[in-house]
A = this chain, B = another copy of it.
């Protein structure tokens, strides 16, 4: 910290931004929130929501603001976490911009509202396939890749899958979330054994009826971690 003049902070010509990879489940698929750019560079391409950090603003506040302003919807993430900072010199043709990338998880149902929105500089917003997205602007594909990797990590260490679901849910539903995030099928018996032995789920007594045999409903147990490293 000693290269800093003791007086005031010099305005370095390095712009600081946040980008947000916000995930939710829709149609049994993992979706990511993307905005379609309305201006150059990369006009009409899809991009992660992002924007410059303001001076009095915490990083996570900037992430929330950006999420809301670019989608015109009051999104309430269940989880928000910084996961990497992207600062390669050539990553943005407009100048030197370093971006702190965030991972957000939005609960079930969120996906309904954000079909069409119009921030100032976007053509719209949408929830698109996270594993097979369209071509993305800037280095946003790298950011998304890394966000997915972190999300997959968090399945093991925290129980982040729970945050994608409503308060009560069935085990097959939870398994579906894991499968969507990992992008592969899991064994039903092993999954149940593992999850139930962790003791983070409590049966609600109710059952969900519908097609086929009714399923036990569970909810998150009182003692559930959420953060790690």
- Residue pair B119, A100 in contact (C-beta under 8 Å): no
Do B100 and A51 have beta carbons less than 8 Å apart? no
Asked if A6 CB lies within 8 Å of chain B CBs, one says: yes
Residues of B within 8 A of A39 (CB): 2, 6
Is A89's CB under 8 angstroms from B12's CB? no
A201 within 8 A of B: no
With an 8 A cutoff between CB atoms, is A161 at the interface?
A: no
> Does A208 belong to the interface (CB within 8 Å)?
no
- Quick one: copies of this chain in the complex? 2
Which residues, 1 to 31 on A, are CB-close (under 8 Å) to B? 1-4, 6-17, 19
Given A58-B88, A59-B85, A82-B84, is A2 in contact with B51 using a C-beta cutoff of 8 Å? yes
Are B89 and A1 in contact, CB atoms less than 8 angstroms apart? no
Max count, chain B CB within 10 A of own CB: residue among A1, A8, A94, A138: A1
In-complex Cβ contact of A37 among B1, B9, B48, B94 (8 A): B1
B82 touches A9 (CB 8 A): no
Interface size of A by CB at 8 A reads 63
Query: Given the interface contacts A2-B39, A3-B51, A87-B59, does A11 sit within 8 Å of B9 by beta carbon?
Result: no
Name A121's closest neighbour in chain B (CB-CB). B2
With A2-B119, A4-B15 given, name 16 new contacts (CB 8 A).
A1-B92, A2-B70, A3-B50, A3-B69, A3-B70, A4-B51, A6-B40, A9-B95, A10-B52, A11-B11, A11-B13, A16-B16, A59-B87, A82-B84, A150-B229, A153-B229
